[in-house]
Amino acid sequence: MSLRNLRGRVAWVFDEDNFDIDRIIGISNLKISDVEQLAALAMADCEPGFAATVQPGDLLVGGHNFGYGHPHFQAMRAMRHLGIAGVIAESFSPGFFLGEINMGFPLITCPGILASVQRGDEIEVDWESDRVRHLPSGRSLPLQRLSSAERGTLEAGGLIPYLKTRIASAKGQQPSVNPK
């Protein structure tokens, strides 16, 4: 299996460091579970009508320590529903990073990204060369390589399918799993 490259427009640039992603849908809306409703609320405080501007495959760009605070899953559920395919940031808050990778949602750490792109630019995440390419200028930046477990989780589409493939391959090699 290999990861499919991501290619899309920058749908939004979050240039604030330590951005609390709960603000994307509004903290008072965290109890909403209906994904349609959540998607309609995305970025509503900053730009009413944001939802209608997103095309499938679009990407988000963030600053340092993106996802700091006590991140809930609703914001990225809403973004995925709109068609957002991943987030590229200067760096991520570890809890947010682990949580979203386990959901099978690509988070790409790419120092320098913030100064290199603007909203609307088309960019590409190339997993072969581990680079993020800014298509209008042809320039590219190295992205921070994922661990094999993180990469496997994205390839499988999330933690559960990934663990299934891992366990199946482990069983292939060593038929009995331990019990003492």
Residues that bind another protein (CB under 8 A): 18, 20, 22, 27-28, 30, 64-65, 68-70, 91-95, 98-99, 102, 147-149, 159-160, 163-164, 166-167, 170, 177-180
Closest CB 123 distance from another protein, rounded Å: 23
Q: Which is nearer to another protein, 7 or 23 (CB)?
A: 23
Q: Which is nearer to another protein, 18 or 55 (CB)?
A: 18
Closest CB 93 distance from another protein, rounded Å: 6
Closest CB 121 distance from another protein, rounded Å: 26
Closest CB 9 distance from another protein, rounded Å: 27
Dist CA 15 CA 61 (whole Å): 8
Dist CA 154 CA 137 (whole Å): 28
Closest CB 155 distance from another protein, rounded Å: 14
Closest CB 17 distance from another protein, rounded Å: 8
Q: Which is nearer to another protein, 11 or 97 (CB)?
A: 97
Strand-strand pairing, 131-134 and 59-62: unpaired
Dist CA 55 CA 86 (whole Å): 13
Q: Which is nearer to another protein, 94 or 120 (CB)?
A: 94
DSSP one-letter string for 14-51: E-STT--GGGGT-GGGTT---HHHHHHHTTTTT-TTHH
Q: Which is nearer to another protein, 94 or 142 (CB)?
A: 94
Dist CA 34 CA 153 (whole Å): 25
Q: Which is nearer to another protein, 84 or 93 (CB)?
A: 93
Dist CA 130 CA 145 (whole Å): 6
Element counts in the chain: helices (H) and strands (E): 7, 7
User: Are 17 and 63 spatial neighbours (Cβ–Cβ below 8 Å)?
Assistant: yes
